[in-house]
A and B are shown apart, each in its own frame.
Chain A
Amino acid sequence: MLTYIIRRLLQGIVVILLVTIFTFGLMHLAPGDPIDVMVGEARVTDEQIERIRAQWGLDRPVHEQYIVWLGNALQGDFGQSVVRRGVDVSDMVLEATWVTVQLNVLAMVLSIGVALPVGMIAAIRRYSSFDYFSMMGATLGVALPNFWVGLMLIFLFAGMLGILPSSGLRGPEYYILPVIVLALEQTALLARMMRSSTIDVMTQDFVSVARAKGLAEMPVIFRHIARNALLPVVTIIGYRLSFILSGTIVVETVFSVPGLGQMFVTSVQRLDYQVMQAIVLLFAVAVVLGNLLTDLTYAYIDPRIRIQ
């Protein structure tokens, strides 16, 4: 098991390294430079532009810039934002990451808490009105784009009713709307998954055997059905975990949340290389770790995988 984890981690490091090389190259191949963005329509000469560029080390060849960046990054120094000068990228990114992680963890907890019971009940009471309503809700939840839902909730709760704030994250009540919107699609997806996988498991032989040997319905459901039905759902949860940092861009913009997604969009618009690179690195790490975590959880839940 330990060798497995180590092997997976080493693979992950290679992936992350490739991602950084690729994004670095791509960013610098793309036309334009941050200095132009910074200067806008100010009156400048080519010479001044060159000086500003030199000051930021942007005049050196790309591979040289990459090596310098990598060396620094390995020591935990991600440089300074070109746009927000004087601010360490690591500080900026950490602060934003904390915001995004909070939102996502809350949304994840909410959606798991709602989706799993709903999915199971819908499966067990198949074709009941509960089943129809919940699955109709789930279909809607998957189908509605979250920026639209976000705006509608803002108009309703912040505009018309005036009971919830429309933007920012400055107290518990500020979390309500963004967390709901973030959780919506996920809840819908997980509930549908849970329902179909429960139905699959319910028809398996070992369930009949459990019932045949006289087990009460509750132990059958929790010990046999639920545990097995969770397997595919865990995969999805793990998969979603990988995007815990990168999946909130739209919601952050709609709700003016100063998280990682918004910071990423801003950094791309302003061609703020250092910030972009740090965030991409973080996204890559999250995906690699998320996948690893999924596999490990799988092994925990399903002994067959552990043995292999």
Chain B
Amino acid sequence: MADPRDLEKILTSMPMSRRTLMKRAAILGASAPVIGSLLAACETDDDDDDVVDDVADDDEPAVDPDDDEVDDDDEPVDEPDDDEEPVDDDVDDEDRYGGEIVILGHHEVESLSPDDRGPTVHWAMITNIHDSLVTINWRYEIEHELAHDYEAAEDGLQYTFHLEEGVLFHDGEEFTAEDCVYNFEFHMDPDNATVLGGDYTAIESVEAPDDYTFVVNMAEPDASFMRRAAKNEIVAAHHHEEIGEDNYKSDPIGTGPFMVEEYRPAEFTRLAAFEDHWRGRPYADYLTEEIIPEGSVRTLQMQTGEAHSMVWPPVIDDDMELEADPDFDSYIVPTLSMNHFPLNNQHDVLSDVAVRRAMVYATDRDQVIDDVFLGAATKATANLAPTLEPFYNPDVTEYPYDPDEAEAVLEEAGWEMGDNGVRERDGEPCHFICTVITGDEARLPEAEVVQQYLAAVGIDMEIQEAPLATIQEGQRDGTIDASLYNWTYGGTDGEPDGTATLHSEARNNWNNWDNERVDELLELGLREVEEEDRVPIYHEIQEIVADQAPMLFMMYWDWYQHWSVDVQGRPDPDDLLATGSSLLNYIRDFYLVNQD
């Protein structure tokens, strides 16, 4: 595989960025040391998804943004694949029906209820069993689903949805506005203590003036409504009411293109085409999610043709192998979850904005991306991912790698270099502890590299390890100085609101950051319903975040989603702004070619 002649040929034959080159080299087995570090990271990818499931990954399911700039960087990806792609557009519609699409998850599908849509492995099934009023597509656009139209009142206090007629649930009952009323009221009732309850807090009441009209009255405007509550999947009211939420988790009835055929949580979930789906039946007869915890076995099953796609990516070198394989199309888009060092802004040293700025200047983030993550990431500039257009603000304070500038900033703030290479101010050393997740083999090397960068300018970052739960508990009560993980600061499903992690009152204000203006803007951003009025608000938030550097923003990891070329009807990889997970909602349009 690592024939040097091949390597040379590939490296010289096409124009490409440095990052691309590194990727290619890695695929060819060229940069052994780098690959070695990746092999270590592989384990983590698997651990990761479990450890970090709770962190970064759980929010991946629905839709994450990506950006066009990134595409330039990451260009390499699809050229070979595109060439190979069989053009099956002229396949007769008749021939598209039949067959089984198999996707691979990495952990148990614990529930099929929309209230548990968090983990991607669950969502892959939930979104195919259910429909929602509207849905968010792979370009973060709001698409009509059960509502063929909707109107929002100008003051943002009322939404009226006009529903599709003749939509049937899997048990043959008709879907009406009463189902919507039931679903919304179920989540609105605090006694039900649903996980999604937070999406519904701004709603005052819901009503169904007739079978095909659903009205939502808001207590206060909530601009995130359409991308939160309105896009949640709808369950069959009569069924859910009868058996209760707990039983519904294993016995769901929705209006989706597929219905449950067999549910074995730790082994596989098999869905069968719903013949009476209101859009017409899906092409595939079956959609099955197999649970394969081990990443390399998932990769093998893709290569042997047993499976068509993975809900959860394997280790990065397997990803790159599949990317290079002409039998697969790879959708590579950065996630919305920022890889960053959250910093306790109330800490004696870290509360000094000069120290925080110096940290960003002192860290060569491009180099970290290339060395530790094989170039498979995009640099972060503030709290929103560059893919999140139009809310992303490219015009914020930049921190190019500049150790001299870092030192100058520290000097100016009174941090003098001490004898032991650590700066001091009024006898206090420029020291803090960064607690990384125990056993986090992907990010520990990152922490160590950054530690070196910081040490070079006189900032002493000590590294410790603790389980994620301990870290986050410590962040809530202010006893942890800093950490390193991936989490969103707004952006999920294209919604720029970052109240949950940026607001000073938020439960998950990981940085213990208290910025009055940002609090104000976050509140304002949810009150302004029109997108064009919201854009400047979120731009300003990013300006402040970039300027104040409440966290050490590092990067957004690339998310890999591979689909076998045997499955067609998929969008072009270049068209995606959200991660490939967003395609899972569109499997109804996919069809199998080369069926035996």
* Bitwise interface map of A from 21 to 53 toward B, beta carbon under 8 Å scored 1, else 0: 000000000111100111111111111110110
B50 to chain A, nearest CB (A): 5
Contact residues on B (Cβ < 8 Å of other chain), bracket: 35 or more
* B507 in the interface (beta carbon within 8 A): yes
Interface centre among B291, B297, B487 (most CB of A within 10 A): B297
Give A89-144 interface residues, CB cut-off 8 Å to B. Answer: 96
Asked whether, in the complex, the Cβ of A159 is within 8 Å of the Cβ of B294, the reply is no
A42 to chain B, nearest CB (A): 6
* Bitwise interface map of A from 196 to 217 toward B, beta carbon under 8 Å scored 1, else 0: 0000000000000000000000
> Of B193, B199, B290, B472, which one neighbours A52 at CB under 8 angstroms?
B193
* A55 in the interface (beta carbon within 8 A): yes
* A86 in the interface (beta carbon within 8 A): yes
Name A51's closest neighbour in chain B (CB-CB). Answer: B193
* A256 in the interface (beta carbon within 8 A): yes
With A43-B499, A258-B267 known as contacts, the answer to whether A48 contacts B193 (CB < 8 A) is: yes
Distance A40 CA – B468 CA, assembled complex (angstroms): 12
* A65 in the interface (beta carbon within 8 A): no
* A308 in the interface (beta carbon within 8 A): no
Distance A30 CA – B469 CA, assembled complex (angstroms): 9
* B195 in the interface (beta carbon within 8 A): yes
With A40-B54, A262-B293 known as contacts, the answer to whether A86 contacts B190 (CB < 8 A) is: no
Give B331-376 interface residues, CB cut-off 8 Å to A. Answer: none
Distance A67 CA – B190 CA, assembled complex (angstroms): 29
Asked whether, in the complex, the Cβ of A168 is within 8 Å of the Cβ of B197, the reply is no
With A40-B54, A41-B487, A168-B267 known as contacts, the answer to whether A32 contacts B468 (CB < 8 A) is: yes
Q: Which residues of B contact A38 (CB under 8 A)?
A: 116, 118, 195
B414 to chain A, nearest CB (A): 37
> Of B116, B195, B507, which one neighbours A45 at CB under 8 angstroms?
B507
Name A32's closest neighbour in chain B (CB-CB). Answer: B469
Q: Which residues of A contact B249 (CB under 8 A)?
A: 84-87
* A57 in the interface (beta carbon within 8 A): no
Distance A96 CA – B304 CA, assembled complex (angstroms): 28
Distance A168 CA – B292 CA, assembled complex (angstroms): 8
Q: Which residues of B contact A269 (CB under 8 A)?
A: 50-51, 53, 107
Name B474's closest neighbour in chain A (CB-CB). Answer: A31
* B246 in the interface (beta carbon within 8 A): yes
Asked whether, in the complex, the Cβ of A37 is within 8 Å of the Cβ of B54, the reply is yes
Once A and B bind, how many residue pairs between them come within 8 Å at the CB atom?
145
B552 to chain A, nearest CB (A): 20
Asked whether, in the complex, the Cβ of A86 is within 8 Å of the Cβ of B300, the reply is no
* B574 in the interface (beta carbon within 8 A): no
Name B117's closest neighbour in chain A (CB-CB). Answer: A42
Asked whether, in the complex, the Cβ of B290 is within 8 Å of the Cβ of A168, the reply is yes
A252 to chain B, nearest CB (A): 9
* B108 in the interface (beta carbon within 8 A): yes
* Bitwise interface map of B from 186 to 227 toward A, beta carbon under 8 Å scored 1, else 0: 000011010111110100000000000000000000000000
Asked whether, in the complex, the Cβ of A40 is within 8 Å of the Cβ of B50, the reply is no
A162 to chain B, nearest CB (A): 7
> 4 extra interchain contacts, Cβ-Cβ under 8 A, other than A32-B469, A40-B59, A254-B294?
A43-B499, A155-B300, A166-B301, A262-B293
A residues within 8 Å of B by Cβ? Answer: 30-33, 36-49, 51-52, 54-55, 80, 83-87, 96, 151, 154-155, 158-159, 162, 166-169, 253-254, 256, 258, 262-263, 266, 269-271
B residues within 8 Å of A by Cβ? Answer: 50-51, 53-55, 58-59, 107-108, 110-111, 116, 118-119, 190-191, 193, 195-199, 201, 228, 244-250, 264-268, 290-294, 296-297, 300-301, 303-304, 306, 467-470, 472-473, 487-488, 492, 499-500, 507-508
**21 A-B residue pairs with CB within 8 Å:** A32-B467, A32-B468, A32-B470, A36-B54, A38-B116, A40-B58, A40-B59, A40-B119, A41-B55, A43-B228, A45-B201, A52-B195, A54-B193, A84-B110, A84-B111, A85-B245, A86-B244, A87-B249, A158-B300, A256-B267, A262-B293
